Amino acid sequence: MLLVGLAVFGTALVLLMHVFQRRSLGMPPLPEPALYPAVSLLKPLKGADAGLEANLETFFLLDYPEYQVVFGVQDESDPALDVARRVAVRHPEVPCAVVVDDRVVGFNPKVNNLANMLPVARHDLLLISDSNVAVGPNYLRHLVPHLLDPGVGMVTSLIRGVGGRGLGGVLEMIQLNTFIMAGVASVNRLGRVCAVGKSMLLRRCDLARIGGMEELGRYLAEDQVCGEAIHGLGHRVVVSPDPVDNVLGPLTVRQFASRHLRWARIRRHIAPFAY
């Protein structure tokens, strides 16, 4: 009977999560502000992900008044560097900076990269986005109004898995588009903090108040730590209902399992009861 009860409870919980997911996806965009503030997009790179060039190009095709793209690598020989420069050359209309710097501020390689990129970011609004993400032209127009809402200190996004190949890629898309997306939507609806590093918009001044990249570099789950720290300042962390695409490419079952084992360990540490 205990097992049956747990099964019924688990099924009901999953169904509730998917109700939250459907409601989040169906929400209309917020009204446009009178003036859109300028944004610096920080794109830390390491290696040539599947579809890297096409992914990066989507960030040069945004329908937004003023923004800057900043690429960063820690090694001059990184194959992502030539790809980033090639895309930037095709779009001289978009201000772009490329940073090659191997200095470290902690043991998180992504944060080390971001720390070296930050000094060349021109604007107060910072958008951190991974290299394997693709977005639509209205991405910033839909994201920024959430941050302009009084009391909001960070905006993250729902994640949609696309382009997975092989059995591992198919399993990854199923996992991202059901359990993960529904979980992020549910946490947001329940007023809890959930920050996803593939799409995080925040203010430079708030990043400084929580200790900057030096503080985040102490953790592997820097995105969630950043969200919780922003919340600790008295700000809300909200999830935009417009998903960004996590472009997957070929994955083996071993790679799929390894990735979600790592995520499960992080979830167990962050929210042991929910885990």
Taking phi over 0 as left and psi of -120 to 50 as alpha, with beta for the rest, 20 belongs to alpha
The answer to whether 102 is a known catalytic residue is no
Catalytic option among 130, 223, 242, 245: 223
DSSP H or E stretch at residue 274: none
Q: Are 38 and 123 within 8 A, CB to CB?
A: yes
User: Strand ranges (DSSP E) for 74-223?
Assistant: 96-100, 125-128, 133-134, 152-165, 200-203
DSSP H or E stretch at residue 141: helix 139-148
C-alpha–C-alpha distance, residues 195 and 192, integer Å: 10
Q: What are the backbone dihedrals phi and psi of residue 215, each rounded to the nearest 5 degrees, phi first?
A: -70, -45
C-alpha–C-alpha distance, residues 262 and 268, integer Å: 10
Write the DSSP assignment of 175-190 as a string of letters: HIIIIIHHHHHHHHHT
Q: Known catalytic residues?
A: 223
